[in-house]
Structure formats: C-alpha cells, structure tokens
Structure 1
Amino acid sequence: MPHPPDFLVRRLRLRHLELLVALAEAGTMRAAATRLHLSQPALSKMLVEVEGSFGTRLFERTPQGVLANALGQAAVYRARVMLGELERGREEVDALRAGASGVLRLGTLSVTASVPRAIAHLRHQVPGARVQVQEGRVRDLVQRLLDGELDAVFGAITPELLASDLLPLLRPELLLADELCVLCADGHPLARRRKLAWDDLSGLAWVAPPKDTLVRQALMTAFLNQGLPPPEPAVEVLSSVTVGSLLRLDLQLLGAARLEHAQDEVARGGMRRLPVAPAVPLPSIGLYTRRSAGEAPPLVRGLAEALRKFGKPARGGDASKK
C-alpha cells in the first residue's frame, strides 16, 4: 500500500534531518554522534528510524565509515534545504520582531555597480528591508542557494551552469548584458585615445584574472580573433579590488574586467574604460533562484526589477528555457 502524502511528516523529526546531514558530512558514525552529542547506539537507532521511514537503505556501511548512496544523497540534499529554510525562518522572525519588513539573503559578484544601486532602490521602496550580501564565485554561491542558505544569486548565466545537472533545480533569469572591458588609469598613455583596436594593445602590460575565469578567456579570445598572441599578464590576480588598486598605482598597466566591474571603477574616479573594437561579449548576468521554492519572495522580485532599472538589459528571459 502506498504511504499517505504526510507519512514522512508524521514519522520524521528535525533531529532525523540533522542526522542525515551530519552523517553525510562526517562520514563515520562516531564523528556524526560526536557532532550531534549522541551515543553511537542512539545514533544507530535514529538511522534505522530514518531509513525505515523512507523504506530503503540510504547509507552504505563500509570499513572506512558510511557513505550516502544515490537515494541517500537525494534525502540529504532535501534535508539541507529544509534545515536552511528553518534557519531562514528564524532569522526572518527575529528581524520582523526587531522592526524589519523582510530579509533578503543575496549572493553576488565581488564587485558590481548594479547591486549597490539596486539595493538602495529596494530599501527606498521597502524602507524596513534588511539585505545580507555574501560575495564569492557563482558556482559556490549557487550551491549555497540550493542548500537554502541564500534567497538569490546575482551572477553570470554561464554555459557551464546551463549544461550542468543543477539546471533543473534552478530558475535563472537573464537581466543584464555583459562584455569584456579594458580599463586603465587616467595617466595611462592610451587614456585619451578615442578609438582603439586590439592590435593597439598588443605587447602592453596587463593585470588580469586567472585562465579559468570568463574574463581571462574573453581577453584571450579578443586577441586570437585578430590573429594576435594573447597577452601573458604582468600581474595575475582574482580579486577585482586588487585589480583596481594596481591600475591606479601602476600607470603602465591595462586591466581586463567585466562590465559591472568597469562601471564601478569608472564611477570611483581616476579610471577610464578604453574604446576598443570589436566588442567581445561575456555571458549575460542574471538572478538565480531555487525552482523548488515556488514563486520568488517579494524582496527578490523587487531586487530583480531594480537591477533591470539600473543595468544594460540582456536579451531573453528565463535562461532555463533556452
């Protein structure tokens, strides 16, 4: 006989969900028991209860410890999401009790011109809104989104993510166009030029991110498309903040950056975006949300509207339909 829809709700406790996550992360019964402040017999009994509730084995026992099988990985993933949502609920209730009208947990690129303006606009529209911003690489932030730690991620809609197994779990919405930009300080010899080609930049000193980044790959493509050897950067650094600092300190350097970073640096002053043709596009930037979470919360929708207002629109809509 099939179980009723609320069977797991009646059988499982929050402690069972914590057990699933602890076992998956710790890898041994002993370590998981220590983490949950339980005896090993008590933990073993709970695991029997969990697997009995699901009606199947979720973890394989080996001499080295325990390992979640395919079914267990699915259960662990959902457990992480539910525990993350509960933590979000606690944070939001605390914030509402303290006078906030809502909480938005946003993951974003480390340097962006659109996000600060969008947040300021959102807080003007919803004065009591609280926004928690976490910066990092899109792939890491997307995982935190799927784990329920974030409400949305602002970042590049990359071919890698569109082709990955994560796509069915995500709802990526294209918002802003992006392209490769070349930056230099006001005192650079090329700063006053009104028209440049890529061969004008050949042989010059560059600061650029590592080869595994979209910006560096676009820089290499820009030169290769013109039959030119790609530059080997004088300085290779991932931090966008460090790129900006170096360009202001060393007037001989050119910098490769995405449009969001370039706009931010130019707005800060002392920096120029060089008019180099032909343009080299980068994957559009958008907002990732979790598909299983249903309709995006009002603050997420408000942020998306503000980002459209302040950025260069991207073509298309829901990238998952592409």
Structure 2
Amino acid sequence: MNASTDYLVRRLRLRHLQLLVALGDAGTMRAAAVRLHLSQPALSKMLAETEAGFGARLFERSPQGLTANALGQAVVYRARVMLGELARGKDEVDALRTGAKGVLRVGTLSVTAAVPQAVVHLRRRLPGTRVQIQEGRVRELIQRLLDGELDCVFGAITPELLTSDLLPLLKPEVLLEDELCVLCADAHPLARSRRLRWADLHASSWVAPPKDTLVRQALMTAFLNEGLDPPEPAIEVLSSVTVGSVLRMDAALLGAVRFEHARDELARGGVRRLSVTPVVPLPSLGLYTRRGAEGAPPLVQAFAEAIRRVGVRSARVSA
C-alpha cells in the first residue's frame, strides 16, 4: 500500500463511500442527505473530506445540483463495487454460519436450460453451495454485476455489448454456441419432414418475438438470404414459454426461438424441432464477470465449467 492509499484508508470511512454512491444516484445534496439521514452541512463536510483524500474535485457544482466529473465517475464506480463486495461478504458469512460452503450470485436471462442444469451439477460437485439466481435483461444484470451485486451474468455475447463502453470493465467468456430453432406441434403437417429449407416455411403462420430481438432478426435474415420477404408473425410474443404453449394449442403454427430456449420446450413434450437448412447462428452464450487482476473466484470458475459440461451433453443430444 503506497502513501496516498494509506492516507485514504486512514481518512475515509464506509460512510464516505455511501456518500459517493448517493451523490452519484441523486445528483443533489438535499436528496443525498435524505437518503443517508444526514444534514446537508454534514454531507458537505464529508464531500470535502472525500475530495481532499483523493486530491481532486470529483463533482461539478451547478444551480441544478452536483454532477460527477470523469474522476468522480471512476470513484463512484469503485465505491459501488466496494460496497457490493462488503454486502457479498456479509451474505457469505451468514451462509457459512448456517452450514453453507459458499454463495454464488448468478444473473441470467429468464429462460435457459443450461443454468438450472449447471447449478445442479455444481451442487453435486460442491455440496453445500448456495446459489442465488436473479433473472432479467442481460444489460440490466451486467450493471448489477459491475455494482458488485452479482458474481457473474449468463447471457448472449452480443456485438452491442462487445462494442459498448462497458467492455473494458467486463470479462466475457464464450461457453455455448447457439442458433435459430424452429418448433412446431407434434401434429403439424411438417413435423415429420426430414429436410426443409426456409423457402418451404415461407407460407406458414408464425409465432415469433418482437423485431428488436436477436431471434426475430435472425428469422428475418434466414428468409432474406433466400431472396424472400420475411413473414409477419401471426402472434408476436417475447417469452419462449408462451411460444411453446401456443404451438401445443394450435398445430398450424411454427415458432421461432433460440436453441437454448428450445431445449426446455422440447423437454416438456408436445413440440418438436424442424430440421431447416441453412442453419442460422445466433450470438454465442457465455459468462460475464468483472475484469480484475485477481481473476474470477473459484466458485464462478466451477460454475463456468458446469455450463460447458451441460452444453457438451446437449450438443450431443441435438446432433
């Protein structure tokens, strides 16, 4: 620890970190004071102490409030991570006191076959591990990862994230390949067809996700590559679970989902996958962790290995 860092450790307390996060979120001294249950003079004093500790102005003052400058944004981000790690430490201590061997906090897209299988595999290998799964949009989960609230996020490794300003803070690891998958009811006229091309499906009625999704864009690309206008879905819905339910009730429909989602629907029965060429790939699925010199924790590494194992098994089954 160098002299300047030692000075920070001696001068600043956790309350100063809370102040940084509160100001970063609220943007005014009044709102931050209410959030922290402190007076505005007390907050002003703490902010002065914090900026003195870092030897730089961190917030720009204006009649509208306070805005973190580039230096302040960097410090606020680190304050969030440190508070998040402190909360993680408390969770782990509480879990260990009640007999757990460790706690893994995972963020994941809402429907996935790989994550439940990987969690079961992980707990067989490391009995006593506790796993907290939070589902949602990958972009929002990644922000929670960066804030220290999650240990890892499972989701698509998209071009959008690979070219975003967040990438220097993240370490994405590709674990599973994925592709566009067409499902139909067992009673659909094409259900037993051996080999189909996209042109054979052009006149069909479709259930598909909205246009802003990777799956819908892949479906449109499949038809455009064949020189055909993409079909407009008869039913547009985001959830692959709903897609499967609709297909089971209406044997005239075809459904477009990603293969990772199709695995769950196929396991439930009543639907089957059509063999359609050419195959249309989707962005690979993988694990996002925070970039750091210390690398991912052992429990996260074990979880990543578990996902690889279940992915290999599912690839063999689908081959």
Displacement of 1:241: 2.2
* Residue deviations 1:259-280 (CA, integer Å, cap 9, x gap): 1101111011111111011000
Question: What code does the residue aligned with 1:80 have?
Answer: R
The secondary structure found in structure 2 opposite 1:4 is helix
Structure 1 residue runs of 5 or longer lacking an equivalent are 314-322
Displacement of 1:293: 6.5
Contact 2:241 2:265 in 1 (8 A): no
Contact 1:110 1:240 in 2 (8 A): no
**Which residue is equivalent to 1:128?**
128
How far apart are the structure 2 equivalents of 1:110 and 1:221?
25
* Residue deviations 1:243-293 (CA, integer Å, cap 9, x gap): 222222222221111111011110111111110110001111111111127
How far apart are the structure 2 equivalents of 1:82 and 1:23?
16
Q: What is the TM-score when the length of structure 1 is the normalising length?
A: 0.93
**Which residue is equivalent to 2:263?**
263
Deviates more, 1:295-304 or 1:217-226: 295-304
**Which residue is equivalent to 2:45?**
45
Q: How many residues align?
A: 312
How far apart are the structure 1 equivalents of 2:275 and 2:60?
59
Contact 1:177 1:312 in 2 (8 A): no
Deviates more, 1:113-122 or 1:237-246: 237-246
How far apart are the structure 2 equivalents of 1:269 and 1:299?
34
Matches within 5 A, 1:77-226: 77-226=77-226
**Which residue is equivalent to 1:9?**
9
**Which residue is equivalent to 1:278?**
278
**Which residue is equivalent to 1:18?**
18
Contact 2:23 2:29 in 1 (8 A): yes
Contact 2:183 2:262 in 1 (8 A): yes
Structure 2 residue runs of 5 or longer lacking an equivalent are 314-319
Higher relative contact order (CA 8 A, sep 6+): 1
* Residue deviations 1:2-50 (CA, integer Å, cap 9, x gap): 9433222222110001001111111211111001000111111111111
Structure 1 runs (4+) deviating above 4 angstroms are: none
Displacement of 1:240: 2.4
Contact 1:185 1:270 in 2 (8 A): yes
Displacement of 1:235: 1.7
Deviates more, 1:19-28 or 1:241-250: 241-250
How far apart are the structure 1 equivalents of 2:69 and 2:250?
54
Identity %: 76
How far apart are the structure 1 equivalents of 2:132 and 2:240?
20
Question: What code does the residue aligned with 2:171 have?
Answer: R
**Which residue is equivalent to 1:317?**
none
For the aligned residue pairs, the C-alpha RMSD in angstroms reads 1.4
Contact 1:113 1:263 in 2 (8 A): yes
* Residue deviations 1:99-140 (CA, integer Å, cap 9, x gap): 000000011121111111111111111110000111112211
